[in-house]
Amino acid sequence: MKKIISIVLSSLIVATGLAACKSDEVIESSTSVSEDDTVATDESTTITTEESQVQTENNDMTEWIVPESTDITPELADLFSRAIDGLVGVGYTPKLYLGYLVSGGTIHCFLCESVVIVPDAVPYWSLVYVFEDTEGNATVTSMYVPQYSTSGDATVVKDNPAELMPGGWSACVEQDADIDALIQDGFPGTEEYNVSLYTPKMALATQVVAGTNYAVLCETQGEKKDNKFWTIVYIYQDLQGGRSLINIARLDIGSIYGPLVWNVSGEDYREVCKTYLEEYAPDDIETILYIDNPTVTMLPILPESYYVVTEGEGVAPYYSYTYQTTNDGLLGPIVIYVDFAGTIMGLGYRE
């Protein structure tokens, strides 16, 4: 008979929409969107590359910076690798470096090719945010999955890889589309749209219709040349190869990140776990070797099998708290899963 001891962590995730499509609007536009899965944007979404203009007296910055190079350098690859060390369930490969914000350290945003570690899993694109403290320690703070739409000027994101591609969208992993030609041919030759402001970086997804819709990630330059930001440009290609622009939606990495306060160490929830064990598993708590020092690991998704304490999925990512015991060799450790808000979602199985 199996004995159950495991708890679930849920985390607070933010999704948001953004503004600005046309070239004559990209500097002035500002949108504040608030939905069940969203966080309102700041009053201004203008990003300046003049870092001295956006830094505070503490050397913190008030706006995100899109770097001159979006390549994943060896230094960035090492940072990302250290940040995701210990995460299980999903594989993440950084492909583009989208930007950073200096705030008590540095928050980095990566575009990643992602895949759940299960047979025949479908890959998808995700935004992974990494916090690097002033001593160089790196931790993943949040992950989001862009949602694709040929209407609206807001790119909405979700925090869960479930239902990755609503509307028949498929992730472009192979990158075999000529994205430069898609953008150049698709933009109308009018003053309303200035194609020179859009630099295609990655084909994110396609949708098969009577032809094909392409979602292309573009680095976008403000007309005054003092700001850069990200947009997803949607191009329709008909069966004869003709191309036309159907939508532009801004991808505001700063608004998506939102005003999160990430519990990196999980210390606040150690007490939650301890209280739960004292109330519901007093016999087991006597076998724990270090009740105040469990091993804390962040998980992007909940495990496939665990004893459910709280119904529902919670909000990803999650924390697992693993307690070593005097009878690990016989039963295994005690594992508790908790969400970002401190809700115990379930317990791990013991033999």
Q: What is the share, in percent, of the chain residues with pLDDT greater than 90?
A: 35
Give the tens place of pLDDT for each residue, 181-223: 999 999 998 878 899 999 999 999 999 999 999 999 999 998 7
Final residue of a structural domain among 257, 283, 310: 257
| Range of weakest confidence among 22-31, 70-79, 159-168 | 22-31
Backbone angles phi, psi at 116, to 5 degrees: -70, 135
What pLDDT, on the 0 to 100 scale, is given for residue 279? 92
What Å distances lie between residue 48 and 52, 101, 198, 221, CA to CA?
9, 12, 17, 11
Do 235 and 337 fall within a single domain? no
Number of domains in the chain: 2
Backbone angles phi, psi at 321, to 5 degrees: -110, 115
Final residue of a structural domain among 257, 272, 294: 257
Is 162 within a domain?
yes
Phi-psi region of 279 (alpha: psi -120 to 50; beta: other; left: phi over 0): alpha
The token pair that represents 155 in the structure block: 């790119």
Range of the domain at 333: 3-7+263-350
Do 195 and 222 fall within a single domain? yes
Decide: 45 and 17 in contact? Cβ < 8 Å: no
pLDDT higher than threshold 50 for residue 40: no
Could you identify the residue written with the tokens 């590359």?
A: 49
What pLDDT, on the 0 to 100 scale, is given for residue 7? 31
Is 269 within a domain?
yes
Buried b / exposed e over 204-237, threshold 16 CB at 10 Å, is: bbbbeeeebbbbbbbbbbbeeeebbbbbbbbbbb
pLDDT higher than threshold 90 for residue 59: no
Do 210 and 287 fall within a single domain? no
What's the predicted TM-score (pTM) here?
0.60
SS3 sequence, 87-135? CCCEEEEEEEEEEEEECCCEEEEEEEEEEECCCCCCCEEEEEEEEECCC
Do 246 and 289 fall within a single domain? no
Q: Which helix (H) or strand (E) holds 206?
A: strand 198-209
Give the tens place of pLDDT for each residue, 284-333: 888 988 787 777 776 767 888 899 999 988 876 678 888 888 888 888 88
Q: Which helix (H) or strand (E) holds 83?
A: helix 74-84
pLDDT greater at residue 260 or residue 272: 272
Do 27 and 152 fall within a single domain? yes
Is 12 within a domain?
no
Q: Rounded to whole angstroms, how far apart are CA atoms 62 and 259?
A: 12
Decide: 187 and 245 in contact? Cβ < 8 Å: yes
Do 82 and 138 fall within a single domain? yes
Do 150 and 280 fall within a single domain? no
Q: Rounded to whole angstroms, how far apart are CA atoms 183 and 187?
A: 6
Region 241-269 average pLDDT: 73
Q: To 5 degrees, how large is the angle CA 272–CA 274–CA 278?
A: 120
Is 63 within a domain?
yes
Do 318 and 182 fall within a single domain? no
Is 46 within a domain?
yes
Do 228 and 289 fall within a single domain? no
What Å distances lie between residue 93 and 90, 96, 151, CA to CA?
10, 10, 29
Final residue of a structural domain among 215, 238, 257: 257
Do 172 and 300 fall within a single domain? no
Give the tens place of pLDDT for each residue, 99-131: 998 877 888 999 999 988 888 888 899 999 998
Do 65 and 174 fall within a single domain? yes
Task: Identify the sign of the CA torsion 276, 280, 285, 287.
Answer: negative
Q: What is the mean pLDDT of the chain?
A: 76
Strand, coil or helix: what is 332? coil
What pLDDT, on the 0 to 100 scale, is given for residue 52? 30
Do 139 and 234 fall within a single domain? yes
Give the tens place of pLDDT for each residue, 158-178: 765 544 455 688 888 888 889
What pLDDT, on the 0 to 100 scale, is given for residue 247? 95
